[in-house]
Amino acid sequence: GQQLNQSPQSMFIQEGEDVSMNCTSSSIFNTWLWYKQDPGEGPVLLIALYKAGELTSNGRLTAQFGITRKDSFLNISASIPSDVGIYFCAGRGEETSGSRLTFGEGTQLTVNP
Amino acid sequence: NAGVTQTPKFQVLKTGQSMTLQCAQDMNHNSMYWYRQDPGMGLRLIYYSASEGTTDKGEVPNGYNVSRLNKREFSLRLESAAPSQTSVYFCASSVGFSTNEKLFFGSGTQLSVL
């Protein structure tokens, strides 16, 4: 089956710093997504990407759909304490059975005030 | 605006016990899903229901059964719980299966099987 490798697994940063995380796939995806999970809650969709090379922003968050269609990146600028949580990438590939989503393992982000 | 509601929030079972996790959505969505979340493994799809009246296996269906009771409700049943089923379970819904990238999740059920 398809696999997503998300890195880093965890990050500890100071408030105000910028953050970058990425996700790579073993096969081509036609949709890339980034979700955030707050402690004790379910994931919430942050950004959806549908075309190779697409760059989309949502406030301080910017995500890119890689040109090769096998990777995606999420950047958070000027981090604040409420950015704490687990960030998941997810993708839907051409070969995915029934167009199911595949999720990465998550990046745990900790922001120190 | 309730969105996706899951019950219970926490549950402890003994090996071999059975239980049903309940899920309801009030967004008139056609598709519903059950995921499990384990440390370092992301979210894995257990079962899904693309539309009312249909259910299909996901990535990790063994040991589970589901029922799409009506358009609003999708339950997950563990017939004989095993320690390997200790996990956090999330129910989710989407408008349709073709738009399943926009998933709306419940707040999860933390299940421990002793």
Tell me, what's the pLDDT at B41?
Answer: 83
CB contacts < 8 Å between A and B, how many? 59
In degrees rounded to 5, what are phi and psi of residue A82?
Answer: -75, 0
What torsion do the CA atoms of B4, B10, B14, B19 make, to the nearest 10 degrees? Answer: -30
Give A63-96 pLDDT, tens digit per residue: 999 999 999 999 999 999 999 999 999 998 865 5
Pairing of β A107-112 and β B10-13: unpaired
The closest alpha carbon to A109, from A54, A34, A50, A49, belongs to: A34
Which DSSP string do the residues of A7-26 spell out, in sequence order? E-SEEEEETT--EEEEEEES
Q: How many CB atoms lie within 10 A of CB B24?
A: 20
Tell me, what's the pLDDT at A98?
Answer: 52
Tell me, what's the pLDDT at A99?
Answer: 60
Give A40-68 pLDDT, tens digit per residue: 899 999 999 999 999 999 999 999 999 99
How far apart (Å, rounded) are the C-alpha atoms in residues B21 and B17?
Answer: 13
How far apart (Å, rounded) are the C-alpha atoms in residues A98 and B94?
Answer: 14
Tell me, what's the pLDDT at A100?
Answer: 79
Tell me, what's the pLDDT at A95?
Answer: 57
Binding-face residues of A in 7-66 toward B, CB within 8 A: 9, 31, 33, 35, 40-45, 48
Tell me, what's the pLDDT at B109?
Answer: 96
DSSP conformational letter for B97: G
* Chain A hits for B56, Cβ within 8 Å: 98
pLDDT tier, A1 (very low <50, low <70, confident <90, very high otherwise):
low
CA atoms within 13 A on the CB side of B88: 18
Q: Which two tokens mark B24?
A: 């309801």
Q: Is A90 on the interface with B (CB under 8 A)?
A: yes
How far apart (Å, rounded) are the C-alpha atoms in residues B69 and B80?
Answer: 21
Give, for all 114 residues of chain B, the pLDDT tens digit: 679 999 999 999 999 999 999 999 999 999 999 999 998 788 999 999 999 999 999 999 999 999 999 999 999 999 999 999 999 999 999 998 876 678 999 999 999 999
Tell me, what's the pLDDT at A111?
Answer: 95
Beta-bridged to residue B23, according to DSSP, are B6
Tell me, what's the pLDDT at A2?
Answer: 61
